[in-house]
């Protein structure tokens, strides 16, 4: 039986999916399986997938395109490995990814997930994601994440299949699906890290079709707040101390403000006019507590601040983990 399932969902990416498949097939570890699932492509993606034949490879074809979250649940259900990696069809791995991650799980079976260093690609610019120590208590990891000192990219994160199946699926249409899973996992135990860059995340490329770039800031703000509230509630129920919760709550508020400011940036990059961006987002500001002086329940969130960002002209974004369109 394989130990690691590498799942590649794809949709109309005939020009990119081959690189993802070949990076999975090039893994030095023999303890893998590769799932490639075509979510109803209308281009030549099926013909590209058909070129590959390997005993480690299983392929699926869906005639009707399903929502991205449902497609993800399908792949989790098909996984035969103990661990799961979701690899978007435009991302790719270094050959040692599986071997390095499995070694950490062997040495530290208490880890709920293991992530690696990741090169985030902004067209021709590569920026390394911010990583932590080899082993870290889950609470410390979450505090560092919301302080923007940890970046977990889904294509660089191997999770336990059993945990993925135990957790309830994200709400229908939820965009930040990766964070939905690993933030809840971090509440349950330690997190492992391989600091080497072993995965590549294509955040910005020429046709700019990353689903997050088209996500209205109102949606991004609402989902970010929902995730933070969920984490805080779980930690409260698990007995986390009031001082830790108060500090984390403040960090969550600042993180959300920076993240939503970044989403305004991506909305503009994808070509939305200034009026459109504001019209999409202003109704949400009072709802999620991002307007000046507007609380969310008992929580007040700091005003949005411009985060350090790099566009294709030379500025880079910090602290986002978007999800793709497959």
Q: Looking at the structure, do residues 222 and 183 belong to the same domain, yes or no?
A: no
Residue predicted with more confidence, 219 or 18: 18
- The predicted-structure confidence for 253-277, as pLDDT tens digits, reads as follows 999 999 888 888 777 766 654 445 4
User: Both 113 and 240 in a single domain?
Assistant: no
Q: Is residue 110 part of a domain?
A: yes
Residues in Cβ contact with 226 at an 8 Å cutoff, skipping those fewer than 6 apart: none
Is residue 320 a part of any domain in this protein? Answer: no
- Summarize the confidence of residues 215-237 as an average pLDDT: 89
Quote the pTM value. 0.81
Higher-confidence residue: 2 or 323? 2
**Lowest mean per-residue pLDDT among 170-184, 233-247, 283-297:** 283-297
Same domain assignment for residues 162 and 40: yes
Residues 97, 18 share a domain = yes
The stretches of 16-153 forming alpha helices (DSSP H) are 17-25, 45-50, 68-78, 97-107, 138-146
How high does pLDDT run on average in the chain? Answer: 83
| DSSP conformation class of 310 | B
Domain that holds residue 143: 4-204
Residues 117, 146 within the same domain: yes
Reported as a pLDDT band with limits 50, 70 and 90, residue 207 is low
In a domain, 309, yes or no: no
Number of domains in the chain: 2
- Mean pLDDT of all residues in 249-256: 93
The residue among 204, 230, 251 that closes a domain is 204
Asked whether residue 308 is domain-assigned, the answer is no
What's the rounded mean pLDDT across residues 188-209? 88
> 4 - beta bridge partners?
32, 83
Distance CA 88, CA 282 (A): 31
130 & 252 share domain: no
149 and 12 within one domain: yes
Q: Are residues 160 and 221 in the same domain?
A: no
122 shares its domain with 255 = no
In a domain, 220, yes or no: yes
In this predicted model, which residue has the larger pLDDT, 143 or 177? 143
Last residue of a domain, one of 156, 184, 204: 204
Q: How far is CA 295 from the centre of its chain?
A: 28
Does residue 38 contact residue 11 with C-beta atoms inside 8 Å? yes
Examine the domain organization and report whether 167 and 67 are in the same domain: yes
Q: Are 12 and 145 part of one and the same domain?
A: yes
Tell me, yes or no, whether 229 and 164 share the same domain.
Answer: no
Q: Tell me if 317 is assigned to some domain.
A: no
Quick check: is 173 in a domain? Answer: yes
User: Is 55 or 312 the better-scoring residue by pLDDT?
Assistant: 55
End position of a domain, from candidates 204, 236, 268: 204
CA-to-CA distance for 7 and 29, rounded, in angstroms? 16
- Quick check: is 325 in a domain? no
């Amino acid at each position: 039986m394989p130990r690691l399932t590498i799942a590649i969902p794809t949709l109309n990416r005939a020009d990119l999916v081959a690189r993802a498949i070949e990076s999975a097939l090039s893994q030095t570890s023999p303890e893998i399986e590769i799932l490639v699932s075509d979510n109803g492509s209308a281009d030549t993606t099926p013909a590209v997938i058909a070129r590959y034949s390997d005993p480690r490879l299983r392929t699926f074809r869906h005639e009707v395109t399903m929502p991205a979250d449902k497609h993800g649940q399908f792949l989790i259900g098909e996984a035969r490995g103990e661990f799961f990696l979701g690899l978007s069809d435009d991302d790719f791995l270094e050959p040692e990814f599986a071997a390095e991650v499995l070694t950490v799980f062997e040495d530290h079976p208490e880890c709920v997930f293991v992530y690696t260093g990741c090169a985030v690609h902004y067209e021709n610019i590569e920026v390394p994601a911010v990583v932590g120590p080899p082993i870290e208590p889950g609470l410390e990891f979450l505090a560092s994440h919301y302080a923007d000192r940890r970046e977990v990219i889904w294509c660089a994160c191997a999770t336990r299949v059993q945990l993925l199946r135990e957790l309830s699926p994200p709400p229908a249409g939820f965009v930040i699906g990766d964070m939905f899973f690993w933030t809840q996992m971090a509440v349950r135990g330690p997190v492992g890290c391989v600091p080497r860059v072993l995965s590549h995340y294509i955040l910005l490329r020429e046709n700019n079709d990353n689903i997050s770039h088209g996500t209205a800031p109102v949606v991004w703000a609402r989902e970010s707040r929902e995730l933070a509230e969920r984490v805080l509630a779980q930690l409260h129920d698990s007995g986390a101390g009031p001082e830790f919760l108060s500090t984390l709550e403040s960090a969550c508020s600042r993180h959300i403000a920076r993240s939503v400011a970044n989403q305004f940036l991506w909305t503009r990059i994808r070509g939305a006019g200034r009026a459109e961006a504001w019209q999409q987002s202003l109704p949400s500001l009072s709802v999620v507590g991002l307007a000046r002086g507007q609380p969310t329940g008992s929580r007040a969130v700091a005003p949005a601040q411009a985060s350090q960002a790099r566009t294709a002209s030379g500025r880079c974004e910090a602290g986002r983990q978007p999800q793709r369109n497959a």
